[in-house]
Chain A
Amino acid sequence: MNKNFVNIVLNNLFSLELNELANIDRCKIALGRGNKTKIWKRLPGSLNEPVEMYQSGYKGEGTKVFVKGVAIIDEEVEDNLGNIMHFNSNQKMNGHIQMNGNTERTWCYGDYSHTFHYSLEVNSPAPFKNRKFSGYQTFMKGFDNKPGSYVVAIYDDSKDTTKL
């Protein structure tokens, strides 16, 4: 699947639609990208982890967790993109079943599109109900004026206007 994505899908993509671009921009704004006043603190106990994990205070409505992670991955950028976009790979399905049992995990991908729909249900410890997430992932080549880079934006159903 990953090989197909890198060699076939990426070379035959439809052009990015305006609403896809708008959704990426909306994510950038919601996450305050470029805001240099935000203070990120390392997660306790994560200093020696290969993935740098940071958390920042969230001052908006409700109780949300604001995190940032930085990792150096020893593989081509397109392979990493394929791995992130392929939501229901065997590896991810196995991990999901181990963690959450027989709960929902779906993936709907339009051929040669920049966007796919996903949904998953994760177990919550008792007495809390399980949590369900449903939304879209959109990717774009060339981010921050770097032609070789990619960005993947993830957003909930309610924020989207894209129809697959």
Chain B
Amino acid sequence: MLLQFTMIAKILQNFNSSSSGAVFGGVTALFVLGPIAPRVTRVIQVQLLDLKFDRTTFGSFSNLAANAAFGVLKSLHIKYQRLGSNVDKEIREEFISNITLAPPLSLDQQDLINKCLLLGSGTDFTFNKLKSTSRRIKHFQMNNQSAQKEKTAIIGKAVAEIDVSAAEVLSWLWNWTSNEKMTVYREDDNSVSRSVVEYVSTNETITETTKRFPPPFKNRQFVTRAVWSGSDDFWLVFILLRIFR
């Protein structure tokens, strides 16, 4: 009877561990590779890793295992890393060449654009000019009171001349996590994070940035929905800001 039990136990043990005595873990993963430019790729990895640890020891390994799971992405990044300004330029060029291929706006996107257009063009709005330190940038401000006069929002406006084409400006604005912008973000002590939350479509993304506030205030995360639209010589970017937490 004991011999029989030992044999069953051994068979069960072999089922859960390899010949070297290692315990079988499990991995389910997806790597999605999407071209951004001819020599630039966005890689998204989603992975479920089962290391077969019990609940008491799992906590201490959880972050370690999560970090280790990104080995492939980290090594790819290091192996192929090129000069940031060149990569940014390639992404901008690719974006500009694909502008005409963008799908038409959805009703929801069009609605957002109409709302934003109303902000600056309504007859009820009068902007007051502010002092500007730059000859080429003009600043304006106005107070917008809600119909119930409960809330007052301050709306700012800036008008500037940029010495590049409208498409080039749009492509620069659109690349939220360009190497140039990420370098500025890393050097800014008041920035906590900056990332693209979701690529909704060719002309819409959800982005986020978190700013550090002085104590006793908590950090502020701004989740942004950005939509662009336009024609051959007139490009528009509409950004709706929402404080998330």
Binding site for B on A (CB under 8 A): 27-28, 30-31, 33, 42-44, 46-48, 50-53, 55, 58, 62-77, 79-81, 83-84, 91-92, 95, 103-104, 121, 124, 128-135, 143-144, 146, 148-156, 159
Report how far A125 CA is from B30 CA in the complex, Å: 27
Which B residue's beta carbon lies closest to that of A32? B46
What is the CA–CA distance of A28 and B76 in the complex, to the nearest angstrom?
Answer: 23
| CB nearest neighbor in A for B71 | A95
B67 an interface residue at 8 Å Cβ cutoff? Answer: yes
Contact A63:B33 (CB < 8 A) given known A73-B76, A91-B79, A103-B20: no
Partner of A80, one of B24, B28, B41: B41
CB contacts (< 8 Å) of B30 on chain A: these are: 27-28, 31, 33, 151-154
Residues facing A in B1-45 (CB within 8 A) are 17-18, 20-36, 38-45
In the complex, B166 has a CB within 8 A of chain A: no
Q: Are A69 and B57 in contact (CB under 8 A)?
A: no
Q: Find out whether the CB atom of A51 lies under 8 angstroms from the CB atom of B74.
A: yes
Is B134 part of the binding interface, using a Cβ–Cβ cutoff of 8 Å? no
A130-B22, A132-B22 as given contacts; A76 in contact with B28, CB under 8 Å: no
A27 to B51, CA, bound (A): 18
Do B77 and A71 touch (CB < 8 A)? yes
Residues of B within 8 A of A95 (CB): 71, 75
For the complex, what is the distance from the CA of A31 to the CA of B71, rounded to whole Å?
19
| A128→B57 contact, CB < 8 A | yes
Beta-carbon contact of A31 and B22 below 8 Å? no
Best-surrounded residue of B47, B63, B65, B71 (most CB of chain A within 10 A): B47
- CB < 8 Å neighbour of A132 from B18, B29, B82: B18
Q: B239 CB to closest chain A CB, in angstroms?
A: 21
Instruction: Give complex CA distance A23, B57 in Å.
Output: 31
How many B residues face the partner with a CB closer than 8 A?
64
CB of B19 to closest CB in A, whole Å: 9
Q: Is B96's CB within 8 Å of the partner chain A?
A: no
Any chain A CB within 8 A of the CB of B62? yes
Contacts of B43 in A (CB 8 A): 69-73, 80
Q: Are B79 and A47 in contact (CB-based, < 8 A)?
A: no
Closest 9 CB pairs of A and B: A75-B80, A130-B22, A132-B22, A63-B58, A154-B29, A152-B31, A74-B82, A131-B25, A69-B45
A68/B41 in contact, CB under 8 A = no
Do residues A67 and B40 form an inter-chain contact, with CB atoms below 8 A?
Answer: no
Q: Is B111 an interface residue (CB 8 A)?
A: no
Which residues of the partner chain B approach A75 to less than 8 Å between Cβ atoms?
Answer: 39-41, 76, 80
Q: Are B33 and A150 in contact (CB under 8 A)?
A: yes
Nearest CB of chain A from residue B72's CB, rounded to whole Å: 6
Q: Please, which residues of chain A bring their CB within 8 A of the CB of B173?
A: none
CA distance A1 to B44 in the complex (A): 24
B28, A27: Cβ atoms closer than 8 Å? yes
**A64 near B50: Cβ-Cβ < 8 Å:** yes
CB pair A156–B195 under 8 Å, yes or no, is no
| A66 and B27 contacting across the interface, CB-CB below 8 Å | no
A-chain residues with CB within 8 Å of residue B69 when the two chains form the complex: 65, 67, 69
A33-B30, A81-B33, A103-B22 given; name 13 further pairs at CB < 8 Å. Answer: A51-B77, A53-B67, A55-B66, A62-B52, A67-B46, A72-B77, A74-B81, A84-B76, A129-B17, A131-B25, A131-B52, A135-B27, A156-B27
Cβ of B87 under 8 Å from chain A: yes
- Point out the residues of chain A lying under 8 angstroms from B158, CB to CB: none
In-complex Cβ contact of A30 among B48, B82, B193 (8 A): B48
